[in-house]
Structure 1
Amino acid sequence: MHLALEILVCLLQCVWLWLVAILKAVVPASLQPHKDVSGWVVLVTGSGSGLGRLMSLRFAALGCRLVLWDVNESWNQETEKLVQAASSGAKVKAYTVDLSDREQVYAVADKVKQEVGDVDILINNAGIVTGTMFLETPDSMNIKTMDINCNAHFWTVKSFLPAMLKKNRGHVVSIASAAGLFGVSGLSDYCASKFAAVGFDESLRAELVKKGKTGVKTTVVCPFYINTGMFEGAQTRFPAVLKFLDPPYVVDKIVEAVLTDQAMLCIPKSVYMFYFLRGILPISVNQTIGKLVGVSETMDNFVGRSKSQ
């Protein structure tokens, strides 16, 4: 009898949560309740360029205190100056960090806690891509890709999550990729690292639920290719369905997702459709659809980001 009651309660909860999810999907994010993050400390990895720089500017505009992490000191200092110029009185501090170096991550994290304080929003954004076929990719690049795109998430979260748990307030954001949901030719190590980031986010969220830490949220972001220069030369056969994304648009969606506590964000929305089909169709059918869409050819003309970007 007790088990039957548990099952009934579970079913009722599922129906209710399903209805809430549908409502959130229909109602524009701008009309949904937003949490106030003014005064929160936001740490952005890979803040020296691309999405990292834009997210830093956006969160500074919301009244947040910024901690900038990047391996490129000059780019990071430029972001620091841009944040200070765009948001008068903004508190921002830049640190040079090689995220592939675990001990360096821990050391700089301790420095941040001493000089700035506890981090409230951790945005693991830094990433690299080799863009070569698996057998043509050096072992060193396989290792570095996993270190930066995935393993660094472990070290940063271990450094800053304890304070979030203590206050039962915080947010961990993982900038993954649609390549963390689908395997792509020419992106074997990149896909592996992003699949790992998606799995880490899901497992971390499960642990937070088990601990009853309802005030600590996670968001995983899975966008298609973005016009930041990182995937320069990549192409898509049907841009009307899967087109390269405009960085400011992506940042708008990420910030909205954080402020509304959205657990998973896929951009564009067609990624959700392909993800659904991936789960219900045979692998052979998915491969046939992928061939039509041209997924395996997207990296054929890849050149990547130039050193000046």
Structure 2
Amino acid sequence: MAKFWFCDISDVEGMKSTAKEIEDTFGDADIVICNAAILSFTSFMEISNELLRKCLDVNIFGTINTIRAFLPKMENRNDGHIVCVCSIAGWSGETMGLSYCTSKFAVRGAMESLQMELRDRGLEGIKTTTLYPYFARTPMILENNMRPTCTWFPFMSVRSCSRRMVDSILKEKVHAFVPSYITLIPFVKNFTSLQVTRSLRNYLGVKYLASDPSLCKLRLIEMSDFFRSPPLFWWFVIVPALAINYISYANPEAALHIPLIGSIVHTIGTQFHFVTLLTNLFALAAHIGEALYALYLCHKANISFASTAKWVVQTFILGFPSLSILSRYKAKQRKTN
């Protein structure tokens, strides 16, 4: 038997009354899924105080009120499952996302706090699951004319989104991104600089199309696609040198198959094994350092994400010949400005 109740989840007493009616009808709740939310994407100064308050009341306090209405009975028997449908917007703020993103950040914090509290109180029989779905073709999205433009993270169908969420709930995951690969969004955001994050956002096309055309006239960040490769000479010298250096340490016997210098490399690898270890560690540390410095220069030179990735990989392989080109470009840019 299925039954539904109309209620205002932002009303504390109304939510408690509804929870009691549900428990009187069906008994204690085994699982509570907090899914109600209001979507509003409006510029920071244009959103009305009334709409902002309503979004926060429903999205934040409504979620908390729902949990608190059912939690006491779960605590009494140390059993139950609380699920909250948050959003990827709970990990990354976005243009025009004052009300929605703010509320989803708060919901994520509330669920993490609840999960930690239940564990510390010894109530680990109560499971918590927080879901972070990307955009799906739900009425809430479509009626607001919101269209994500990212080609790498496609607009999900309702069926695909719901199946993945149900799977995460059944597996009792504490945190679940839907689809799972959007975990990359908070990972990249937290471990890269602001400039790299902005560049990646432009490269992937992660932004929203609002119903009001005037709100879509956002300033585009101009990024340079500058990339150059050193002469082939350096590729033919440095790459084999690194390979020979590694072989001398990892497998000196294989060095005997190298023409001309094989016997020398074999002798060094067998008689001075510790030295080859040091040279390999030094080369690795130097190339990692140069790659990180290349990343820093790309950030300062406002180079696009795609070109930055090329510079970092190339500099990690070749080292100074690649880094010197980038350094000259940054110096020239500084003089021009």
TM-score calculated relative to the size of structure 2: 0.59
Question: Does residue 107 in structure 1 map to residue 14 in structure 2?
Answer: no
- Name the counterpart of 2:179: 268
Question: Does residue 237 in structure 1 map to residue 172 in structure 2?
Answer: no
Determine which structure has more spread, i.e. the larger CA radius of gyration: 2
Alignment partner of 1:174: what SS?
strand
Alignment partner of 1:238: what SS?
coil
Deviation (angstroms), 1:171: 0.6
- Name the counterpart of 2:34: 124
What RMSD in Å do the two structures reach over aligned CA positions?
Answer: 1.7
Alignment of structure 1 residues 177-256 onto 2, 5 Å? 177-232=87-142, 233-239=145-151, 241-256=152-167
Using CA pairs below 8 Å that are at least 6 residues apart, which structure has the higher relative contact order? 1
Q: Which has the higher strand share?
A: 1
Question: In 2, Cα distance between the equivalents of 1:236 and 1:154?
Answer: 29
CA contact (8 A) 1:118 1:163 kept: yes
Question: In 2, Cα distance between the equivalents of 1:301 and 1:183?
Answer: 19
Deviations 1:54-86 (A, max 9, x none): xxxxxxxxxxxxxxxxxxxxxxxxxxxxxxxxx
Deviations 1:185-242 (A, max 9, x none): 1221100011111111111110111012221111111111110122223233333x21
TM-score calculated relative to the size of structure 1: 0.65
Deviation (angstroms), 1:101: 2.2
Give the fraction of aligned pairs with identical amino acids, expressed as a percent: 29
CA contact (8 A) 1:105 1:156 kept: yes
CA contact (8 A) 2:94 2:101 kept: yes
Question: Does residue 161 in structure 1 map to residue 71 in structure 2?
Answer: yes
Deviation (angstroms), 1:107: 1.9
- Name the counterpart of 1:284: 195
CA contact (8 A) 1:99 1:152 kept: yes
Q: Which moved more, 1:269-278 or 1:230-239?
A: 230-239
Question: In 2, Cα distance between the equivalents of 1:101 and 1:169?
Answer: 26
CA contact (8 A) 1:122 1:172 kept: yes
Matched letter for residue 281 of structure 1 = T
| Aligned match for 1:151, one of 61, 65, 71 | 61
Q: Aligned in 2, Cα 1:302/1:251: closer, same or farther, shift over 3 Å? A: farther
CA contact (8 A) 1:234 1:302 kept: no
Show structure 1 runs of 5+ residues with no match: 1-90, 304-309
Q: Which has the higher helix share?
A: 2
- Name the counterpart of 1:133: 43
Question: In 2, Cα distance between the equivalents of 1:116 and 1:242?
Answer: 40
Deviation (angstroms), 1:302: 6.7
Show structure 2 runs of 5+ residues with no match: 214-337
